[in-house]
Structure 1
Amino acid sequence: MNHPLNSIRAAGMLAACIALAPSPSHAAVKICTFPGSPSVALDRAVAQAVFARANIAATLVTHGIGEGDDDGVSLSELDKTLARDCDVIAGFPRSTVADASGGKMRFSRGYLRAGYVSVEAPGAVLQDAAKRTVAATYASPAQLIAVQQPDVTLDLENTSASTVEAVAKGRAQKAIVWYPAVVAYRMAHPEHSFDVALADSPYADWHLTFAFGDKAAALLPRIDDALTAMNNDGRLQALTKQWTLPAQTASVRSSAHYLDTASTASSARTGIMLADANAARMGRFIKVANEGGGEPPSFEQAQIAHGKTLYASSCAKCHGAQLQGVTAPALQGPSFAPAANSHLTVGGIFTYMATNMPADRPGKMKDQDYADIMAFLLNSNGYKAGATKLTADSARASTLPLNAGPGH
């Protein structure tokens, strides 16, 4: 997942430490960034300016958060990093669906809105297959957004840069990608231009912040004051101008619209279909659309407990111990199971999960384990246990829209 909290690569790392505002009388605050994030250059520049404005001595530690892998960085890992290697993390992304609220960190106000966008290459000549292809970064919010689009083949890429390149090279008609990745790609390849539209999804909206550990938490009000002052005098806008979502994205809707109950009839005929790189080769497609109704699938109380244990070991790292979302979206609440008009079905969610998750070993768990996790997710969203065991087959076959259960 090449979200800013994932795919933390060595490329782009500068010196081990860069002095921002040295002070002979006080130890400098140590600031970490995510070296592989597309926004790392901006995060460093904003950190330098904001801490200087707050008159706080600071040192940027590029090795504070080391190499990451594609299944994310857990809250416990980040808490340990803030206790051991640095005091503040610059460029921490937060959203209403993944706010990292379950850890010990405290967060500043945001300094940049950095959402997910749909990008296309104007005037591109595409082969027939590419015209139906949408590129997205594997196991990221981009993939969840792309899933919502009708009748497409999903080209899953390992990095945000290769996701943008799929459009630049004509392999895909469009890409769903984090906007800083588009900016970084254009910096490296100024010959390319893109049409950009804000993705229409609850998973699309993110804001970059400073995350503070316990040792530096007392400095948070000063940083917020500095950010407010820099916003008021235009300095923050000048720093972030190149990275700011284009104004037209506020009024342009991408094709990643939700399906509501009014579209049930058409979706029952066509469905929303996707294929990951392996599934496409094997001829397997995954339906995730709201295709109708039906009774909630039954699951046993024992499955909830087992599913909770499996979730803690295989899912919580990205989705949060309380299902609140960390580096992946929340799996509880209105963004996942709205009160009405859900755009996903129980069967769609289960099939997606059993094919693509966990991110570090997709599809490698036992069918019954996936079913038990699904039972835990259903119970966490208001559904009650019954007398019949939930199986992979019954979960996969469910056409029930995933609205919040009566317990919520």
Structure 2
Amino acid sequence: MNHPLNSIRAVSMLAACVALTPSPSDAAVKICTFPGSPSAALDRTVAQAVFARASIAATFIAKGIGEGDDDGVSLRELDKTLARECDVIAGFPRSTVADASGGKMRFSRGYLRAGYVSIEAPGADLQDAAKRTVAATYASPAQLIAVQQPDVKLDLENTSALTVEAVAKGRAQRAIVWYPAVVAYRMAHPERSFSVASAHSPYADWQLTFAFGPKSEALRPRIDDALTALTNDGRLHELTKQWTLPADTASARHPDTPSTASSARSGFMLADMNASREGRFIKIANEGGGEPPSFEQAQTTHGKTLYASSCAKCHGAQLQGVTAPALQGPAFAPPSNSHLTVGGIFTYMATNMPADRPGKLKDQDYADIMAFLLLSNGYKPGATKMTADSARASKLPLNAGPAH
């Protein structure tokens, strides 16, 4: 996954079926995966086991979602996919910042926590320029996490595999990357080893699930029951253990966390993120204060129109998050102690968004979108128009406004 902010060329393609069962019937459930995702092979394996346990005949639909991964696909496109090409999507990523709510899809319980991590390659021969370089996958949550770190140079790569390779080849000291991409890279390059540490960010934590359309939603309880049964008998652990986050990066309540020893044998070493300042993930400082930059009601109307045309595909029509983080609510603007600033969000947005054409809008257009985001998170308009300069200069922590 080049998760939940990458753009994808989601085109309609003829489906080629590969049987999951020896003699599937015409009524077999059609399953799609994101073929570009590093976890696609795992998603197919888990789907086979789950649907077999649920006694549901199923077939895979090759290229039902095109040739890319799961990022940047709009709810409308996904709803169409589930109405036409397939009944279920295996390996759909969900999180508290991008849960794809607001569409027609419904979701199973998660079968794997597969978030973003910080990796290094011990002993790599680093070039001088690489010693302050952090690699991340362009236009993905990895970039959003990495951009929050001060005093580093970003190496933005087009795929998650290239992001891992930037560390393996010594072009970057560290990388923020989707953990299944690290596993997939290790499978292809077993001679490589990496240290893995948490990327402490609300954008880092994701769960892989099954997504159902309206015509297949009735299957969801059976799939959840099968997932529960496979968890209880240890089968799910066996299927996913190679992909499970190392112990100190995983939630304490996650049932499938491997031991430190097993992680080391697999070529992953647990990094101590507290050992030094350079080895830690550092959030945007939220020191500072004062009033947010003023904005006018009229510019929020323009900002809303721009948001609908340039941002809603990934972030949701209601700012709820689809395959990119939500831009409203406590994950984005918490009641207090935000790790993001108004200026930081504006600068990131104006530099990197929209994902398909970064920086395509005028400075004032980005300021109008920022005004709309502030209004949507409880801030009240004033008499002075927000400008790009006033937005960029704001060091105010982005906490929810008093009206929110």
TM-score where L is the length of structure 1: 0.88
Alpha-carbon contact 1:9-1:35 (below 8 Å) kept: no
The one-letter code of the counterpart of 2:397 is P
2:236 aligns to what? 236
* Per-residue deviation, 1:150: 2.8
Residue equivalent to 2:364: 368
Residue 26 of structure 1: how far off its partner (Å): 5.7
Shift of 1:247: 1.4
Is 1:103 aligned with 2:103? Answer: yes
Q: 2:96 and 2:403 mapped to 1: Cα distance?
A: 22
Task: Please give the per-residue CA displacement for 1:294-315, whole angstroms capped at 9, x wherever unaligned.
Answer: 2111111111111111101100
Tell me, in whole angstroms, the C-alpha distance in 1 between the residues paired with 2:69 and 2:244: 27
CA gap of 1:70–1:99, structure 2 versus 1, over 3 A, is closer
The match for 1:255 is 280
For 1:374 and 1:166, how far apart are their aligned partners in 2? 33
Change (3 A) 1:204 1:70: closer
Instruction: Provide closer, same or farther for how the CA distance between residues 375 and 70 of structure 1 changes in structure 2, counting only shifts above 3 A.
Output: farther
Q: Deviations over 1:286-340 (max 9, x none)?
A: xxx4351221111111111111111011001111111111111111112211222
Mapped to 2, the partners of 1:42 and 1:67 lie a distance apart of: 17
Q: CA deviation at 1:148?
A: 2.2
What secondary structure sits across from 2:216 in the alignment? helix
Shift of 1:73: 0.6
CA distance in 2, matches of 1:6, 1:292: 32
How far is the alpha carbon of 1:137 from its aligned partner? 0.5
Deviation at 1:51, TM superposition (A): 0.3
| Contact 2:160/2:181 (<8 A) preserved | yes
Q: CA distance change for structure 1 residues 110 and 165 in 2, over 3 Å: closer, same or farther?
A: same
2:307 paired residue number = 311
How far 1:203 moved relative to its partner?
Answer: 0.7
Partner of 1:355: 351
Cα gap change, 1:335 to 1:63, in 2 (>3 Å): same
**Distance change in 2, residues 1:5/1:358 (3 Å):** closer
SS of alignment partner, residue 281 of structure 2: coil
Q: CA deviation at 1:249?
A: 2.5
Match of 2:263 in 1: none
Residues 204 and 246 (structure 1 numbering): CA distance in 2 closer, same or farther, change over 3 Å? same
Q: Distance in 1 between matches of 2:182 and 2:55?
A: 33
Alignment of 1:386-405 (within 5 A): 386-405=382-401
Instruction: Name the structure 2 match of 1:138.
Output: 138
The 2-side partners of 1:306 and 1:69 are apart by 32
Q: Which residue of 2 aligns with 1:268?
A: none
1:74-130 deviation digits (Å, cap 9, x = unpaired): 110000000011000000000011100111000000110101001100111212211
Alignment-mate amino acid for residue 84 of structure 2: R
Counterpart contact for 1:26–1:57, Cα < 8 Å: no
State whether residues 6 and 68 of structure 1, in contact with CA within 8 Å, keep that contact through their aligned partners in structure 2.
no
CA 1:4–1:336 in 2, change beyond 3 Å: closer, same or farther?
A: closer
> Structure 1 residues 25, 127: CA separation in 2 closer, same or farther (over 3 Å shift)?
closer
> How big is the shift at 1:68?
4.2
Matches within 5 A, 1:77-156: 77-156=77-156
Report SS of the residue matched to 1:215. Answer: coil
Unaligned residue ranges in structure 1 (runs of 5+): 260-288
Alignment partner of 1:37 is 2:37: yes
User: For residue 267 of structure 1, what is the aligned residue in structure 2?
Assistant: none
Q: What amino acid maps onto 1:232 in structure 2? A: N
Output the CA distance in 1 between the equivalents of 2:71 and 2:333.
23
Aligned to 1:270: none
Shift in alpha-carbon separation, 1:135–1:70, aligned structure 2, 3 A: farther
1:172 is aligned to 172
Would you say the 8 A contact 1:31–1:59 is kept in 2?
yes
Match of 2:293 in 1: 297
After superposition, the Cα gap between the structure-2 partners of 1:322 and 1:388, relative to the gap in structure 1 and judged at 3 Å, is same
CA distance in 1, matches of 2:135, 2:95: 22
2:334 corresponds in structure 1 to 338
Rounded Cα–Cα distance in structure 1 between residues aligned with 2:5 and 2:103: 15
CA contact under 8 A between 1:137 and 1:143: conserved in structure 2? yes
Aligned to 1:382: 378
What is the distance in 1 between the residues matched to 2:291 and 2:204? 31
CA contact (8 A) 2:87 2:215 kept: yes
Size of the aligned set, in residue pairs, is 376
2:256 aligns with none
Q: What SS is found at the alignment partner of 1:134?
A: strand
Q: The residue matched to 2:401 in structure 1 has which SS?
A: coil
Q: Distance in 2 between matches of 1:2 and 1:321?
A: 22
Distance in structure 1 (CA, Å) of the matches to 2:9 and 2:357: 20
Q: CA RMSD in A?
A: 2.1
Q: Deviations over 1:246-279 (max 9, x none)?
A: 11324954622435xxxxxxxxxxxxxxxxxxxx
Q: Which moved more, 1:29-38 or 1:121-130?
A: 121-130
Query: How far apart, CA to CA, are the structure 2 residues paired with 1:60 and 1:215?
Result: 17
**What amino acid sits opposite 1:200 in the alignment?**
H
